[in-house]
Amino acid sequence: MRAFVVTKYKGPLQEAEVPEPTVGEHDVLVRVEAAGLNRLDEKIRAGEFKQILPYKLPLILGNDVAGTVIGVGTAVRGFKPGDEVYARPAQDRIGTFAERIAVAEGDVALKPASISMDEAGSLPLVALTAWQALVERGRVRPGQKVLIHAGAGGVGSIAIQLAAHLGASVATTAGGSNAHFVRALGADTVIDYRTQDFEQLLTGYDLVLDSLGGETLEKSLRVLKPGGRAIGIAGPPDPAFAREAGLNPLLRLAVAGLSRKIRKQAKKLGVTYEFLLMRASGDQLRQITTLIDQGVVRPVVGKVARFDQTPQALQSLSQGGIRGKAVIGNS
């Protein structure tokens, strides 16, 4: 089976022949038709998360998949060969940059009928991230004010649509050339990050979804109202994440140190900061599927590359300029 493999951290992504996936009794074997490209893949390749995501090398990258079921384990009841599905495999079972992948049944959902394989392949990681930030943790309600950074990007373009559907007033940061685009997605207020300072223009927000970190995260704390929440997906990780991830005591201490400054700033302002590393969930994908097939949320695919272009396509993510998601596909 052909796959793209990392053999060492900071090493190149290499095409190689690898063993066929092992299909457990609760697994679904999927022929990969499309796979989303995420900055997370590049960060894993560069070794940025090796302390908190201790992958064993060599490793097949890829966190999103859309494809066709070609086999099921003996205990699987919800899927059959021929079903078109999509999924974000559990973090210890990633590997969608391959011809086939075995995914736990609980992490898989039927593909939305109204969209293509390429569009479906773009969705799982970013849609689950948006859902877990806004619905599960944020509990966004009508009338609340939500700031979503990088609104034209993969997570941002889905999160804007979802927050608007939930009834929030949505502000976002984006380049001036993307202002019309993010307004069409549902943003009420657009801040041009190149020429404007969002901290000087926004106040009284209930929730910030931050995908940038650093100074942007620090400023985001100051636009929240008392009791507001900043949810970061770029880090730094916090003690709650370390506990949930089952990290050893030494790593828990190190993680606490990484986020101590931002948590202290948040406490002083009367707001909270929490780190989100999304998890796989077929149940949540099914709820997202309903929104997609109802036309409430639409995927945004800015670029499609061929399977054999995977290394170059992944590397190009750092250059920016792509609306929504980049995908590798067979079409």
Mean pLDDT of the chain: 95
- Give the pLDDT mean for 236-245: 89
Query: Average pLDDT of 254-271?
Result: 95
Does position 203 have pLDDT exceeding 90, yes or no?
yes
Compute the average pLDDT of residues 314-319: 87
Among candidate residues 224, 221, 227, the one with its CA nearest the CA of residue 263: 221
Contact 120, 86 (CB under 8 A): yes
Dist CA 237 CA 21 (whole Å): 32
Are 109 and 282 within 8 A, CB to CB? yes
Q: Which residues on adjacent β-strands are paired with residue 272?
A: 229
What pairs with residue 72 in β-bridges?
A: 28
pLDDT band per the 50, 70, 90 thresholds, residue 251: confident
Q: What is the pLDDT of residue 182?
A: 98
pLDDT digits (tens, 9 = 90+) for 206-239: 999 999 999 999 999 999 999 999 999 998 999 9
Stated pTM of the model:
0.96
Structure tokens at 72: 């099921």
pLDDT at 51: 76
Q: Are 301 and 118 in contact (CB under 8 A)?
A: yes
- How many C-beta atoms lie closer than 10 Å to residue 218's C-beta? 17
3-state SS string for the chain: CEEEEECCCCCCEEEEECCCCCCCCCEEEEEEEEEEECHHHHHHHCCCCCCCCCCCCCEECCCCEEEEEEEECCCCCCCCCCCEEEECCCHHHCCCCECEEEEEHHHEEECCCCCCHHHHHCCHHHHHHHHHHHHHHCCCCCCCEEEECCCCCHHHHHHHHHHHHCCCEEEEEECHHHHHHHHHHCCCEEEECCCCCHHHHCCCEEEEEECCCHHHHHHHHHCEEEEEEEEECCCCCCHHHHHHCCCCHHHHHHHHHHHHHHHHHHHHHCCEEEECCCCCCHHHHHHHHHHHHCCCCCCCEEEEEEHHHHHHHHHHHHHCCCCCEEEEECC
At residue 307, the pLDDT reads: 94
For residues 173-184, average pLDDT: 96
pLDDT at 247: 84
Phi, psi of 19 (to 5 degrees): -65, 155
Q: pLDDT digit string (tens) for 289-307?
A: 999 999 999 999 999 999 9
Give the integer Cα–Cα distance in Å for 322 and 32.
23
Average pLDDT estimate for 261-288: 97
Condensed to tens digits (0 to 9), the pLDDT of residues 146-176 reads 999 999 999 999 999 999 999 999 999 999 9
Residue 331 has pLDDT above 70, yes or no: no
pLDDT at residue number 52 = 78
Average pLDDT on 133-148 reads 98
| Separation of alpha carbons 117 and 103, rounded Å | 17
Picking from 228, 218, 169, the residue whose alpha carbon sits closest to that of residue 198 is 218
On whether the CB atoms of residues 52 and 91 are closer than 8 A, the answer is no
Q: Tokens 């009284």 label which residue? A: 204
Tokens of 206: 């209930």
pLDDT at 67 over 70: yes
